[in-house]
Amino acid sequence: MANILITSGPTRQYLDPVRYLTNASSGRMGQALAEAALEAGHDVTVVTGPVSIDYPAAATVIAVDTTDEMLNAVLELFPACDGLIGAAAPCDYMPHRISTEKLAKDGQPLELELIETADIVATAAATKKKHQWVVGFALETEDRRFRAIVKMQRKCCDMMVSNGPAAINSLTNDVEILASDGTTLAHVTGSKQVVAAAILKATQLLIRTKS
C-alpha cells in the first residue's frame, strides 16, 4: 500500500478579478487514476483544479484554482507521500501583471505579456527522496515519443505517459507508457479507466523497485 498524490484538471491564471486563461482539461484522467489507485489498495489524495466531475469519495480531495496554489498544495503534501502522478494540465502561462480591478474595454487591442508559471511536477521531483517516485504526462502533437522522453529527463520523472491532444476533455485516451530508460512499457488505447488501470499496473512495478 502506498500514499499516492495525484494532480488533476486544469488551473486558471487571472488577468483581472473575473477573466482568466485556462484549458479544456476535464479531470477525467485524474479521476480514473484515483479510482484505479484506490481499487489497488492505495491511499489517494487528489489536488484538483476547477472541474465539473466528482472524485471517488474515498480519496482526499484538495481543490485549488491557480498553478501556484496547486504547486503549494503539492509541495506541502508530497513529503508525506510515496509518489506523485501529475495528470493535471496546469496553465503554463500567467499574465505578467494581474489587474486588481476589472480591465475596462477602450476600443483598443489588449496586449498581454505572459510569463511561464512554475512546473509542479519538476519542482516536486527535485525534492524526491530515495523511496519516492514521480509519474508525469506529456501531451505533444509532434514527435510524441521523443519529446516525452526528453520531458521525462528534464522533469526528473521515473515514468512518463505520452498522449496526444485527443486526450483533452475526452472519455478515451491513447497512450504510450515509457520507463525512465526510454523503453516502452505499454501502448494502451481505450477508456480513461482502461488507460488508468495500465498506468497503475506499471506504477506497481515502480513502487516495487523503490521499496
Q: How many residues does the chain have?
A: 211
Query: Under rule CB under 6 A, which residues in 126-145 are in contact with ligand C5P?
Result: 136-139
Q: Does residue 117 belong to the site contacting ligand C5P (CB under 6 A)?
A: yes
Nearest to 63 by CA among 87, 86, 45: 45
Cβ proximity to ligand C5P, 15 vs 121, nearer residue: 121
Cβ proximity to ligand C5P, 22 vs 67, nearer residue: 67
Q: Taking the CA of residue 200 as centre, how many other CA atoms within 13 Å lie in the half-sphere pointing to its CB?
A: 26
Strands 43-48 and 3-8: parallel
Q: How far is the CB of 64 from ligand C5P (least distance, A)?
A: 12
Give every CB contact of residue 201 below 8 A, 6+ residues apart in sequence: 186
Nearest-angstrom CA–CA distance, 149 and 55: 30
Q: How far is the CB of 14 from ligand C5P (least distance, A)?
A: 16
- Print the binding letters for residues 144-173 with ligand C5P: x by CB under 6 A, - otherwise: -------x----------------------
Can you give the binding site for ligand C5P, defined by CB under 6 A?
A: 7, 67, 86, 88, 90, 92, 117, 119-121, 136-139, 151
